[in-house]
Amino acid sequence: MMHKVLIDCDPGHDDATAILYAARHLDLVGVTTVYGNQSVDKTTANALSILTLLGLDIPVARGCDRPLNGIFRHGGDVHGKTGIDGAELPAPARGPVDAHAVDFIIDTAKQHRGELVLCPIGPFTNVALALRKEPQLARWLRGISVMGGTTQIGNTTPVAEFNVWSDPEAADIVFRSDIPLWMVGLNVTRQVGLCEQDVARLSEGGRVARVFGGLFGFFRNQLREIHGLDTASLHDPCALVPFIAPDLITYRQAPVEIELGQGPARGMTVCDFRNLTTRKLENIKPRAPANCSVAVEVEGRALVEHILAAILGWPDHAPAAAAVPSPV
């Protein structure tokens, strides 16, 4: 039986791939949107256009346009003015549902009690507000699988990853929720990326694959110029891997806390992998109980091929997108 999944996202090149990957292998029951890679107006339009491209009739609910505390700063420097530059997407065939993303998350979890996995792959604001609004949500969800954080260096600050850094207070609510939690961070997702040859394979495929080839041609060039990377990272699909191909990512149980201070460590995911003895050690804070399964290893090339197969195998009966420009 396929897992039921709701994706909370900010499309975004890798978010678009996560939507396709989930729709190929799981029961994708809905998509909610949040600010992040661009404004929530743009990320909502992008989600609707991606679903139109894929020929999918899946409800989309528009969510929050800013973090719980602080100022919204989008990721347009990486993802472009639209939030998903590199290809012309079709105009959305439908609009978002009337419900706000927060209420949509609550209602969907209530409808699928004990079955639904929530996958936040953008800033965690919608999810945090849903947990605040409905105390039963933590009991209704089967689990939460996030793309966010890192056990190593960050991409927004030296220690913070963008999704967590965008709203650390919201991330803190999620990580303290006592819901079964999976976290895949930059330490793993940067090992899962499309190289020049992979982008060429997409660009030589069918209509949907060619659109993704254009998207990832742009995304790869941006990451090379800004971060010095040679591949287009497939961050967000990695959050779905425990429910699709669990042997490809190794997780380790650990306590994870979110740094909420206003200093240079704000937004850091503090993962405690220490193996402390039971002997009391003076001036050493004891290890807290594990609250998260943290991704520590990945079969990177095998996962890239698995995701590519989903894109290249997507049927082309969906409405045609406009012409895909050559990658910049």
77 is catalytic: no
Q: In the chain, what is the greatest distance between 2 CA atoms, to the nearest angstrom?
A: 66
The answer to whether the CB of 188 falls within 8 A of the CB of 238 is yes
Name the catalytic one among 8, 10, 14, 172: 10
Supply the DSSP symbol for 305. Answer: H
Give start and end residues of each alpha helix (H) in the chain.
13-25, 40-54, 76-79, 101-111, 125-133, 137-140, 162-166, 168-175, 186-189, 196-203, 207-227, 300-312
φ/ψ of residue 211, rounded to 5: -60, -45
Cα angle vertex 116, ends 177, 253, to 5°?
A: 45
Q: Is 93 helix (H, G, I), strand (E, B) or coil?
A: coil
Q: Which of 190, 186, 187, 183 is nearest to 294 (CA)?
A: 183
Q: Which residues pair with 270 in a beta bridge?
A: 257
Give the active site residues: 10
